[in-house]
């Protein structure tokens, strides 16, 4: 399932997009927002695959909202103004829906998103290894990465950055979902939509943030309970 949220300042338009998402078998609506300002923290802290975002909104328009996100999900813009189309595609939108939107047009855009995510998931076939190491494609090379040397993994749109204990970080074209699945039987935990951490490498936790050197990794609400269970299980009192 592709996890979605919808953002539109017009309640009827928001309800229409929400109904379309519910009607589409491969989409799951997590939440709807009438203001992008209300959606920012939710998108940053939760695992969201796809945003349906209106462009022409008060306070913060849809394009500026997407630009404000440090690790934005994929985007499908909705608007009544065709002149925004080019600017929308400049921020890597998957599609651009011109209001009024019928379901056939919506489904065509949603199917395009499904095809994109299928290609991304298939890229996990490039992730080869066992419980001790992985082979990662990076910059036209195949690099052997020892799993125990991974400190944390950082999601960066279509790419991930693997931070290692004694080596430079490695960038590769993989999804966080694929990496999370590959490491699920090891001592790794997803603590944020943009971070997976090696639990064996954690030495300091400060104000609900994991500290690696000078990097502070937040633990989002979606993963907080599971992470706190790990701490309590290993807490010496």
Question: Which fold would CATH assign to domain 2-122?
Answer: Rossmann fold (3.40.50)
**Per-residue pLDDT tens over the stretch 74-83:** 999 998 876 6
For residues 76 and 231, the model is more confident at 76
Query: pLDDT band at 125, cuts 50/70/90?
Result: very low
Please give the average per-residue pLDDT across 60-67, as a whole number: 86
Q: Is the dihedral of CA 71, 77, 83, 85 positive or negative?
A: positive
Question: Is residue 229 scored above 70 in pLDDT?
Answer: yes
The average confidence (pLDDT) of the chain is 86
Contact status, residue 71 vs residue 161, Cβ threshold 8 Å: no
Contact status, residue 50 vs residue 43, Cβ threshold 8 Å: no
Domain boundaries, the chain: 2-122, 127-233
Question: Which fold would CATH assign to domain 127-233?
Answer: OB fold (Dihydrolipoamide Acetyltransferase, E2P) (2.40.50)
User: Given this model, what pLDDT does residue 92 score?
Assistant: 75
For residues 37 and 140, the model is more confident at 37
Please give the average per-residue pLDDT across 84-110, as a whole number: 81
Please give the average per-residue pLDDT across 68-76, as a whole number: 85
Whole-number Å distance between alpha carbons of 3 and 113: 11
**Per-residue pLDDT tens over the stretch 6-26:** 999 999 999 999 999 999 999
Query: pLDDT band at 34, cuts 50/70/90?
Result: very high
Question: Is residue 221 scored above 80 in pLDDT?
Answer: yes
User: Given this model, what pLDDT does residue 91 score?
Assistant: 67
User: Given this model, what pLDDT does residue 189 score?
Assistant: 93
Does this model's pTM top 0.85? no
Query: pLDDT band at 122, cuts 50/70/90?
Result: low
Please name the residues in contact with 119: beta carbons below 8 A apart, sequence gap of 6 or more.
Answer: none
Question: Is residue 60 scored above 90 in pLDDT?
Answer: no
**Per-residue pLDDT tens over the stretch 178-216:** 888 888 777 899 999 899 999 999 989 988 899 998 899
Query: pLDDT band at 159, cuts 50/70/90?
Result: confident
Q: Could you tell me the two tokens for 181?
A: 């699945």
151: exposed, middle or buried (C-beta count within 10 Å: 0-12, 13-18, 19+)?
A: buried
């Amino acid at each position: 399932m592709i996890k979605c949220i919808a953002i539109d300042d017009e309640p009827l338009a928001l309800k229409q997009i929400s109904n379309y998402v519910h009607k589409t078998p491969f989409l799951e609506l997590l939440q709807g927002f009438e203001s992008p300002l209300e959606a920012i923290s939710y998108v940053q802290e939760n695992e969201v695959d796809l945003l349906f975002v209106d462009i022409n909104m008060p306070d913060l328009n849809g394009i500026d909202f997407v630009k404000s996100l440090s690790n934005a999900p994929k985007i499908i813009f909705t608007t009544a103004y065709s002149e925004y189309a080019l600017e929308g595609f400049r921020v890597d939108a998957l599609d651009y829906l011109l209001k009024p939107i019928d379901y056939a047009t919506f489904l065509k855009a949603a199917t395009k998103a499904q095809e994109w995510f299928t290609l991304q998931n298939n890229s996990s076939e490039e992730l080869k290894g066992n419980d001790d190491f992985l082979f990662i494609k990076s910059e036209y090379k195949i690099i052997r990465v020892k799993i125990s040397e991974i400190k944390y993994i950082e999601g960066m749109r279509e790419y991930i950055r693997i931070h290692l204990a004694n080596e430079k970080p490695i960038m590769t074209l993989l999804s966080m979902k694929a990496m999370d699945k590959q490491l699920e039987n090891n001592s790794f935990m997803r603590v944020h939509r943009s971070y997976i951490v090696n639990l064996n490498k954690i030495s300091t936790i400060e104000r609900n943030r994991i500290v690696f050197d000078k990097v502070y990794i937040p633990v989002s609400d979606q993963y907080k309970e599971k992470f706190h269970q790990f701490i309590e299980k290993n807490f010496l009192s």
